[in-house]
Copies of this chain bind each other. A is one copy, B any other.
Amino acid sequence: MDTNIKEIEQSFINLVKKMSSYGEAISLMFWDLRTGAPKKGVEQRSETIGTLSSEVFNMSVSEEMGEYLQALSAPEVQGELSEITRKMVEVSKKEFDKNKKIPADEYKEFVILTSKAESAWEEAKEKADFANFAPYLEKIVAYLRKYVERIGYEKHPYNALLDDYEPGVTVDVLDRVFGELREKLVPLVKAVTEAPAQPKTDFLFTHFSKEKQKDFSLDILKQLQYDFEAGRLDTTVHPFAATINRNDVRITTKYDEKDFRTAIFGTIHECGHALYEQNISVELIGTPLCDGTSMGIHESQSLFCENFVGRTYSFWKKNYSLLKEYSAGQFDNVSLDEFYKAINVAGPSLIRIEADEMTYSLHIILRYEIEKALINGDIEVKDLPQIWNDKMEEYLGVRPTHDGEGVLQDVHWSGGALGYFPSYALGYIYASQLKNKMNEDIPNYDELLEAGNFTPIKEWLTENVHQYGKMKKPLEIIQDITGEGLNPRYLVEYLEKKYKAVYEL
């Protein structure tokens, strides 16, 4: 490599490192806003976040960046770069090319629009008044229809949006996979709903003190190898995991004293996200590769922990007595079998974020179909309530009585985040594919959970998923581990087997 290219490479590395420093500051400011920033300071804080975010955007499309990328993308240079640098160039170039296509003033207008739309959505949801939110959503859809044309896409305009969240996954793939999933899940849901053997659940809703829930959560986090020297647990209204930097990955949870499941399964879910980020290879620190490779793979990690660990019989065989110690006699007359069934009740519901693992994907498929048709111009915003309610009835057998529990329930569209929802269902599918492979590699999986020995499981996930960060694309991860592409079969098999057992079908 000639000296000049070496210098350019170093300058490029310095620039992306600077961008990642800004990212750390921005992440911390968001985390702080949600965990206890005093309310009077919020307005100025929002401006500050806006300012620093603009700076990052500007760096991503700067002339400087353009020059480095051009020099480092040249075929005769590529062979001389390390694999990490090559991937950094690839990721940065993709962002550069995309951001370059967005006129700065239009983007700024869009940011302002979504900021207003979020307030309007909140009010509209409260009042179950779709008409008041519709004008904002229309503008957002109009912007996104223009956006996908600017960005460019192959085959279907919705692919341009998918690419922001799940690179490599397209409408063709999703139509096939979601179609198969819907076909299998709808009858399963119906069977479960009509099953005579509905588990007893009343004992779940007894008073369980926040402090004791927290103590239990901390014990479980330690068991799951969450590194408290590189993280912390706080309380928020909406639980989340936030990466401040690779060695500072924080999680939050919320405590419901009338339903301990909120905290414990929420915590285990966020722990899955955090384990991913805490275990990315240290070589990637300070690069844009030091991040989950996609929303879907991220979700596969949280769902793996929540469902394949936290909702298993083996896990509770180990931890039920501990839970009993922390609770105030709540489970004295409840056998482990009864407990296991109770925490695995499933059935149709109106609200996505309260849905169980069996029905969750149907909520997503509904949203996917609507978003795709909206972006394509096949349907219009004004038609959404009707379409939403019809689909709910068709897929889940329940119909919202008002739009607050229907089309208005999610924040995503008000923020312009169309294309995001599919990743949630992909998370379920990926997780099931990983679990299927893990059954081969770790045949004593259940015994490990029963022994409280999570180490081999975590190490498998780190070796196969976590360490790579963005070095591999989502479908590359899946292919390298399982030897096949996206396949919903394992999720279907898992759900059918599990819920037929729970509901004695």
Contacts and interface: CB of A to CB of B under 8 A. Distances in A.
Interface of A: 17-18, 21-22, 24-26, 28-29, 32, 36-41, 43-45, 47-48, 51-52, 227-232, 244-248, 250, 285-286
A54 B22 CA distance: 12
Contacts of A40: 227, 229-230, 247-248
Nearest to A229: B40
Contact of A38 (B25, B44, B248, B285): B248
Closest 4 CB pairs of A and B: A41-B248, A40-B247, A21-B51, A40-B230
A48 B25 contact: yes
A44 B230 contact: no
A232 B38 contact: yes
Given A44-B245, A44-B285, A248-B44, A232 B25 contact: no
19 contacts: A21-B51, A22-B52, A24-B44, A25-B25, A28-B28, A28-B32, A32-B32, A36-B232, A37-B244, A38-B231, A38-B232, A38-B250, A40-B227, A40-B229, A40-B248, A41-B246, A43-B247, A44-B285, A44-B286
A26, A41, A285 interface centre (most CB from chain B within 10 Å): A41
Residue in A40, A47, A227, A232 with the greatest tally of chain B CB atoms within 10 Å: A40
A285 to B, nearest CB: 7
Nearest to A32: B28
B21 A25 contact: no
Contacts of A36: 232
Contact of A44 (B18, B29, B246): B246
A22 B248 CA distance: 21
A228 B38 CA distance: 7
A328 to B, nearest CB: 22
Given A44-B246, A245-B45, A246-B44, A29 B25 contact: yes
Given A21-B52, A25-B48, A28-B29, A38 B246 contact: no
Contacts of A246: 41, 44
A18 B51 contact: yes
